[in-house]
Structure formats: C-alpha cells, structure tokens
Amino acid sequence: MKTYLRILSFARPLRHYLPQYLIFTLLGIIFGLINLTLLKPLFDVIFQQMDPTELEGYRLAPDFNLSVDYIKHQFYYYFISITDQYGKLGTLGYISAVIVAANLFSNIFKYLSQVVLAKVRARAVKGLRMSIFDKVSQLHLGFFTDQRKGDITSRITNDVQEVENGIVHSLQVVFRDPATILVYFGWLFFMSFKLTLFTLVVLPISGILISGIVKRLRKIALASQESLGRILNQVDEMFSGIRIIKAFNAQKYTLGKFSKEIDHYARVNVSMARKNELASPISEFLGVTVVAGILLYGGNLVLNQQSPLDGASFLTYLIVFTQVLNPAKAISKAYSSIQRALASAERIFQVVDTKPEIQDQPQAKDGCTFNHAIEMKDVSFAYENEGVLRNINLKIPQGRTIALVGPSGSGKSTLVDLIPRFYDPTKGQVLIDGRPLTDFKMEAVRDLMGIVTQESILFNDTIFNNIAFGNPKASEPEVISAAEIANAHEFILKLEQGYQTNIGEGGSKLSGGQRQRISIARAVLKNPPILILDEATSALDSESEQLVQEALFNLMKDRTSIVIAHRLSTIQKADEIIVLQEGRILERGTHHELLNQNGLYKKLNAMQAV
C-alpha cells in the first residue's frame, strides 16, 4: 500500500482530479443501474405480474417520508400514471426511451471518468519519469560502474510503462469497481436480504482462491523486469561493440548469450501468464457457480413461497446479480496488473531512493572563485577496499600547466576526477584558494572548469548545439569564434549544412580528429579558468593530433591546466610534470629535470622514443 500511495503522490495535486473522478464514476454507476431497475415495474405493470390489489394501492400518491417504501411507492405511482395516460404500448416506448437515455448518460459519465483517469495517469507517469531521470543524472560516477546501463534504461522505460498500466487498473479497483459492487449489492439487499446474504457467504471463496494466485505474481513480475533489463544491456553492448564482435567473429557467441537470456525471459513470462490468465477463468467459473447456486437456492425459496420475491422479481434479481460479476472479474484481472506495477515501482524507487555519495554540504556556498591555487593535502582514495591514491600532496598555482604521467592504473584519471568532485577523497582534502571544495556547491566548482577527454562525448544534435552545449544563450559569433580557436571552423564550413549539420549518435558522421576539435571548441566557449585534459590526443592519428594539439595550445593560453598525457612529447613544455606509480607521486619536475633523475620518467620517455 505504501508503494501504491507513493506512485499516486506523483500525480499531485489529486484534489483537482479525485472529486471529478468520484462524481463521474458514481453517476455512471447510477445511470447503469436505472436500466435494470426498470425491469421489475415493466413486468409488474405492463405484463401484469403483480397482484391487482397491490397494484391498485400504488395508484394513490404516497405521503412524503424518508424511507425506501416511499421511493418505491412514488416510482410505481409515476409509472402507473404514465400507463393510464399513454396506454401499455406507449409506456413501453417511453421505458425504452428512458433505458436508451440512461445508457447514454451512463456511458458519457464513464467516458468522462476515464478522461480524468488519463490525466492522473499522465501526470503520475511524467512525475515518475522525471524523478528517476533527474536522480540518475545526479548520482555519482561510481554508481554507473556498478550498474548495467541497460538495466537503468529498462527502469526508466519498461518499468515506468508497467506502472502506467497498473495505475489505470488500480484506480478502478480502488473505487469504481468496488463502488459498482456496493451499489448493486445495496439494491440486491433491498430486493431480498436473505438471498443476498447467501451470496455473500459464497463469493469470498472465489476471492481467496484468486488472491492466492495473485500473491505469486509480484515475485515473478520482478524477475521478468530484471531479465528485460539484462536483455537491453546486451543489446546496448552489441551496438557499442559491433566492430569488435565482427572482428573476432564473435557473432555466434554473442547470439548464444542473447538467446540464453531471451529463453529465461520467455520462461518467466510464460509462468507469469499461466498465473495471470488463471485468475480470469477461475473468477468466471466461480461466478457462474454462484449464479447457479442462487438459481437453485433462490428458486426453491420462490417456489415454496418463502421469499418476498415473485417470479418476475427473482428474474430481475438474477439479472442485477450478473452485473456484479463483471466488476468482480475486473478486480481479479486488475490485481495481476497491479502486482506487476508494484514490482516495477519497487525497481524504480530503488534508484530514486539511492543517495548520491557526492552531495553538497548544507552550508555550501553558490559562489566559487579561483585566484591563487588548487591544492591537495594528504589525499588518499579507494574504490571500496581497493586503494588507488595514497597520500598525495600537490599544489597547482594559477596559470600553470601541470602534467600527470605514469603507467596504466597509476591513478592519473582518479586524481583528476577529484578536482571537479566526481569523487571525494576518502582521506585528506582538495582545496581551491585555501578552502575545501566541499565549502562550495558542486555546480559552482564545475563552472570554473572545462574538460576535454580522450573519448569525445558528443550528442546526436547539430554541430552548433554541441559546441554551445550547456550554454543555450551562446550567440552564433561566439560559437564560430570558439570553433576557430579549436581549428574546427574550416571543416565545419565544408559540411553540407555547416554549423547546422547533425553529427549523428556520438558524432558518428565525423572523424576522430573532427570530433575532438568540436569537444575543444565546446571547452573554449565555456572559457573556464581551469582546464582538464584527459589524454585528449592519444587516440588520434599524427595529422589529426597536430591539428588538435595546436587547438589545445590555443585553449591553454592563460589558463590553469591539468593534463593527463600518454604521449610524453605533448607535455615537454609543462611547468611541472608529476610522475605517478601505484597511486603515489614518484617523481616531479620539469621535462629536463626528470630526464636527469634517471628514474621512471626517463624510462617511459626512452620507450616512446624507440
């Protein structure tokens, strides 16, 4: 129930919708019942199934009083008056018109209630999708190394879709169908208390049987959604690694893995379908059994004159009772959908409730300036129990270029990730102008920085929008100026639509060097005082590297730059080179100073010179 109420909370304010839904639903039920209530007087008056003496008593207008008998007397009085005025045939036509009108109004109000329900559903689903998308965008980078991307995608898409379907059924189960049953049973009690009491003894049996089936659905639904997440993850991996799959002739291996997961998903869904589809026939069979029981028991009462019902009344009673079976059956079917929705909602809320490990402190300030230096004091960092950085002490003065070199796994990228607070150190502090980064909001800290990575992260949009990414107010001259500094303007003009050319997913329509220069132009437009370059040229060919390197030199002018370098030739002019090994600073100095030390840097430099 807690999960269900939380889902509905995304549709707030419900006070705008709930009263409308309740009113429209009640009116739809009442007008639907009118059709059936006309059957009894139709038999009694027109077809003369009532005792003449009793019928004659209804010709006199009743005295007003608050009772069911008064309503019944008034109804029959009005009905007989119409018969006297228009005759039986005219009354039959009148009743037929009333039945048609009542059915019309019943369907109109049902339609209006469904429109209101659609608004609630749309609002709740929008809120749910926005909530999980927003939370995912706020989570720390470590979350994405632990979670499969396909599974997260499945939660945002398929799980939310299951919740959307469940909301429709749930609101009907919570109000419309129970209200229909209550109204109809109220009328049945009015017709025959004893016979209706008998039905209430028999009906719960079917409810107990169906609830037993439904309880097992939630666990199976959860397994189904998890399997679907793994399927999406494999599809994503296939798209991302299609070159490697083909190069290693691994299509059969990849297909085998996919087939195994698809088989598991199919088995889970067949199991779920068996239990899901079992509820409906059981409900229908038990409903018909109950009707047969009423026919036997109630018919015996009528035949032995032990019931207030006569033949016409008993037939009307049976017709009204059969109308109870439809909402009862709908409830049994809806419960399976609700269980799937709740299972999906739990998967969604697992993400929504995840607390980011990197958060702003309560007293964090908006404004953050950089005028002196970035400093690391006794900084250590570990992924879970695996130490990556150990006792790092480093000061980067404003306007200086610092290069980080070292073997793979030495901690270069991790060290750089601490500066924009992608991670926080497990020990020690990172400071800017003498104040810990945690004194400022992350957004304020990251506003000071521009980042260019080895992998050009571009979006399926135009070149203009990729350069202006994060800066929607950027003007065309500003974007062009940034592209010129990044040595990108010339190749952009040669494209068919220039700056309005769509570059495809991940910039697939551009070469590696072109993509990297777009990334640099994006950093130039931001004009940050601190620049982080994470092996920005290592994946490029010599010609592209020269163009990109020139663009980087343009970008680094008058900025504080932290450069992770794979090719040591690109950082020989750095103000200081930091050599890392196994998470520690092993050597530091200028290019020439480090060569004279005959240490690791000299060995790395000699290896690349061969």
**Are 401 and 270 part of one and the same domain?**
no
The answer to whether residue 255 is domain-embedded is yes
Prior bond to 19 cis, omega within 30? no
pLDDT at 172 over 60: yes
**Are 408 and 306 part of one and the same domain?**
no
Q: Which amino acid is at 208?
A: I
pLDDT at 480 over 80: yes
Tokens 């005028």 correspond to what residue?
A: 371
Q: Which of 319, 352, 385 is the last residue of a domain?
A: 352
**Are 377 and 345 part of one and the same domain?**
no
Mean pLDDT within 193-208? 70
Measured CA distances, 153 to 229, 231, 233, 241, 245 (Å): 7, 11, 8, 18, 23
**Are 426 and 517 part of one and the same domain?**
yes
Tokens 């945002």 correspond to what residue?
A: 156
> How far apart are alpha carbons 450 and 479 in whole angstroms?
16
The burial class, CB within 10 Å (0-12 / 13-18 / 19+), for 66 is exposed
Sign of CA dihedral 561, 567, 573, 574: positive
Give 411 or 210, the one with higher predicted confidence: 411
Measured CA distances, 442 to 213, 398, 445, 530 (Å): 50, 20, 5, 15
pLDDT at 313 over 80: no
Those residues whose C-beta lies under 8 Å from the C-beta of residue 68, and which sit 6 or more positions away, are 190
**Are 296 and 377 part of one and the same domain?**
no
> How far apart are alpha carbons 181 and 186 in whole angstroms?
8
Of 115-124, 148-157, 205-214, 240-249, the poorest mean pLDDT is in: 205-214
Spell out a b/e string for 76-93, using b for 16 or more CB atoms within 10 Å of the CB, else e: beebbeebeeeeeeebee
Give 388 or 65, the one with higher predicted confidence: 388
pLDDT at 102 over 70: yes
**pLDDT bracket for residue 321 (50, 70, 90):** confident
β-pairing verdict for 386-397 and 560-564:
unpaired
Q: What is the pLDDT of residue 1?
A: 66
Domain span holding position 459: 373-609
Mean pLDDT within 580-590? 90
Q: What is the pLDDT of residue 332?
A: 64
**Are 69 and 195 part of one and the same domain?**
yes
Q: What is the pLDDT of residue 378?
A: 93
Q: What is the pLDDT of residue 185?
A: 80
The answer to whether residue 322 is domain-embedded is yes
The answer to whether residue 368 is domain-embedded is no
> How far apart are alpha carbons 214 and 571 in whole angstroms?
66
Q: What is the pLDDT of residue 52?
A: 67
pLDDT at 450 over 90: no
pLDDT at 310 over 90: no
**pLDDT bracket for residue 244 (50, 70, 90):** low
Q: What is the pLDDT of residue 428?
A: 92
pLDDT at 606 over 70: yes
Structure tokens at 179: 């209200």
Q: What is the pLDDT of residue 364?
A: 84
pLDDT at 213 over 80: no
Q: Which of 345, 344, 346 is nearest to 228 (CA)?
A: 344
Q: What is the pLDDT of residue 380?
A: 92
Question: Total domain count for the chain?
Answer: 2
**pLDDT bracket for residue 521 (50, 70, 90):** confident
Q: Which amino acid is at 568?
A: L
> How far apart are alpha carbons 286 and 283 in whole angstroms?
5
The answer to whether residue 364 is domain-embedded is no
> How far apart are alpha carbons 140 and 549 in whole angstroms?
31
* Residues comprising the chain, all counted: 610
**pLDDT bracket for residue 206 (50, 70, 90):** low
**Are 497 and 406 part of one and the same domain?**
yes
pLDDT at 26 over 70: yes
**Are 301 and 378 part of one and the same domain?**
no
> How far apart are alpha carbons 321 and 338 in whole angstroms?
26
The answer to whether residue 138 is domain-embedded is yes
The answer to whether residue 474 is domain-embedded is yes
By the 8 A CB rule, do 538 and 412 touch? Answer: no
**pLDDT bracket for residue 169 (50, 70, 90):** low
> 378 by DSSP, 3-state: which?
strand
Which DSSP string do the residues of 420-456 spell out, in sequence order? TTSS--SEEEEEETTEEGGGB-HHHHHTTEEEEESS-
Measured CA distances, 207 to 258, 279, 284, 287, 341 (Å): 40, 10, 12, 10, 20
Q: What is the pLDDT of residue 432?
A: 92
Question: Across the chain, what does the average pLDDT equal?
Answer: 79
Mean pLDDT within 450-475? 84
**Are 395 and 285 part of one and the same domain?**
no
By the 8 A CB rule, do 402 and 562 touch? Answer: yes
Q: What is the pLDDT of residue 568?
A: 77
By the 8 A CB rule, do 549 and 570 touch? Answer: yes
Find residue 584's DSSP bridge partners. 581
The answer to whether residue 269 is domain-embedded is yes
**Are 319 and 436 part of one and the same domain?**
no
Structure tokens at 231: 């399927």
**Are 348 and 377 part of one and the same domain?**
no
**Percentage of the chain modeled with pLDDT above 70:** 83
Q: What is the pLDDT of residue 291?
A: 75
Q: What is the pLDDT of residue 55?
A: 67
> How far apart are alpha carbons 218 and 116 in whole angstroms?
28
Domain holding 91: CATH number?
1.20.1560.10
Structure tokens at 605: 């430099």
Q: What is the pLDDT of residue 393?
A: 93
**pLDDT bracket for residue 496 (50, 70, 90):** confident
β-pairing verdict for 560-564 and 530-534:
parallel
The burial class, CB within 10 Å (0-12 / 13-18 / 19+), for 524 is buried
Sheet holding 386-397, edge to edge: 386-397, 373-383, 427-432, 435-436
Reported as a single tens digit per residue, the pLDDT across 83-101 is 777 777 777 777 778 788 8
Domain holding 488: CATH number?
3.40.50.300
Q: Which of 95, 90, 148, 156 is nearest to 125 (CA)?
A: 156
Q: What is the pLDDT of residue 10?
A: 75
Spell out a b/e string for 549-566, using b for 16 or more CB atoms within 10 Å of the CB, else e: bebbeebbeebbbbbbbb
pLDDT at 456 over 80: no
> How far apart are alpha carbons 147 and 133 in whole angstroms?
15
The answer to whether residue 137 is domain-embedded is yes
**pLDDT bracket for residue 394 (50, 70, 90):** very high
**Are 151 and 294 part of one and the same domain?**
yes
Dihedral angle at the C-alpha atoms of 535, 536, 538, 544, nearest 10 degrees? -170
